[in-house]
Amino acid sequence: MNMIILIPLFSPLCIGIIKKIKAIFQNRIGASIFQPYRDLWKLFHKDEVISRDASWIFKFAPFIIFAVTLVAGANLNGDILLIIYTLAIGTFFLALAGMDTGSAFGGFGSSREMTVSALAEGGFIFSLLTISNINLASHGQSFLPGILAFAGFFIVLLAETARFPFDNPATHLELTMIHESMILEYSGKRLALMEWASFNKFLIFCFLGANLFFNFGFAFIPIIIFAFCFAVGFIESTMAKFRFFRLPDLLIISFIFNVVAIGLMF
């Protein structure tokens, strides 16, 4: 149960670290790693402007999505399908909230988000399946499947948390933003909750990756999560964002990695 407190506490830190790494790569100093905390704190103390067309879904979605990330955090070492489908509730309400205010950006953001998450689900389920049963590997060689499954999982991580090759978190260019466009309409505490939920989601994915793929022990988890942040920061500084219709190929690659991993394992 301690995850419910740990994850929301440390997720802004991870995002701060990623931003710092990106800044260093761009040869500028960049904000301190605790900047996300300040942003959240400021947003929580601002008023809200809600559009006339918004229904109760727009108003409740932030709370549901934030709670979903906490629930997923709570049973991280529970059943993999439960985690996947709990996160799917988050995506479901995020997409609905995006469409609710009737702005062009929100609609397109949800359509792209649903496309990416629909295609990512195959790889996601298979990678977690492979890893959670890696010890059952009958043929003894569990190294190659582990690598392939991790590669597949990392691609899914980038897809689900709207990271670089899939979607640029910093950009606000209508053509490319997927995750940002859905929370364009939010302000004040609801925006804070949505941001915090996406931070949590990122940390959950890192934790899943660290916990399942490198089960060295609880002490090493922070180091591995830092490694994840570094990797994401590195990719965001050195790679270009893919065109939208090149993303399915990447996701199918991740799916095939995992299928091969399972095929090899048993």
Partner 1 sequence: MINLIIIFLIGAFGSLILQRDDRLANIWSNSLAIIGALWGLIFSITNFLYRTNSTFIIGKNTLPILSLSLKIDQLSTFFIFIISLITLFSSIYALDYVKHYFKKYNIGALGFFFHLFIVGMLLVVTSSNGIFFLIAWEIMSVASYFLVIYDRNDLKNVQAGFTYLVMTHIGTVFIIIAFLIMYRFTGSFDFDAIKSGSLSIPQLMKNVIFILALIGFGTKAGIVPFHIWLPVAHPAAPSHVSALMSGVMIKTGIYMMIRIFLDLMQPVPVWWGLLILIIGSISSLLGVLFALTEHDIKKLLAYHSIENIGIILLGLGSSLTFTSLNMPGLALLSLTASLFHTLNHATFKSLLFMGAGAVIKETHTRNMEEYGGLIRYMPQTALFFLVGSMAISALPPFNGFFSEWLTYQALFQGIFTLDSTIKWIFIFATGSLAFTGGLALACFVKAFGATFLARSRSEEKHQIKEAPLSLRIGMGGLSLLTLILGIFSGKIITFAQKNVHLSSSVSAPNFFLSFLVIILAVILIARYLINKNQKEIVSGTWDCGTTLGPRMEITATGFARSIILIFKGILKPTIQHDIEYHDSENRYLPKSKLVTLKVQDIHHSYFYQPLKQIINIISFKIKRTQSGITNAYILYIFIALIVALFFIL
Partner 2 sequence: MFKLLSKIFKTPKKTILVEKKISGSLSIRQVDAGSDNACEQELVALSNPIYDIERFGIHFVASPRHADLLLVTGPVTRNMEGPLKKAYEATPNPKIVVTVGDDALDGGIYKDSYAVVGGVSKVIPVNYHIPGNPPSAKIILSHLLKIMEIIKNNKEIRI
| Distance of closest approach, residue 98 Cβ to partner 1, in angstroms | 8
Under rule CB under 8 A, how many of the chain's residues touch partner 1? 78
Does residue 246 interact with partner 2 by CB under 8 A?
no
Does residue 204 interact with partner 1 by CB under 8 A?
no
Q: Which stretch binds partner 2 (CB under 8 A): 18-26, 72-80, 151-159, 254-262?
A: 18-26
CA distance 205 to 193: 18
Beta strand residue intervals within 176-245, DSSP E: none
CA distance 117 to 181: 16
**Can you read off the two tokens belonging to residue 168?**
């640029």
The angle at the Cα of 35, spanning 29 to 40, to the nearest 5 degrees, equals: 155
CA distance 59 to 266: 48
Does residue 139 interact with partner 1 by CB under 8 A?
no
Does residue 194 interact with partner 2 by CB under 8 A?
no
Does residue 184 interact with partner 2 by CB under 8 A?
yes
Which of the residues 61 through 90 are near partner 2 (CB under 8 A)?
A: none
Contacts by residues 81-90 (CB-CB < 8 Å, ≥ 24 positions apart)? 81/125, 83/128, 83/204, 83/208, 84/121, 84/124, 84/125, 84/128, 87/160, 87/201, 87/204, 88/117, 88/121, 89/64, 90/64, 90/65, 90/197, 90/201
Does residue 165 interact with partner 1 by CB under 8 A?
no
Which of the residues 57 through 86 are near partner 1 (CB under 8 A)?
A: 57, 63-64, 66-68, 70-71, 74-75, 78-82, 85-86
Which of the residues 14 through 33 are near partner 1 (CB under 8 A)?
A: none
Does residue 240 interact with partner 2 by CB under 8 A?
no
Report the interface residues with partner 2, using CB under 8 A: 19, 23-32, 35, 38-39, 41-42, 46-49, 172, 177, 180, 184-188, 191, 238
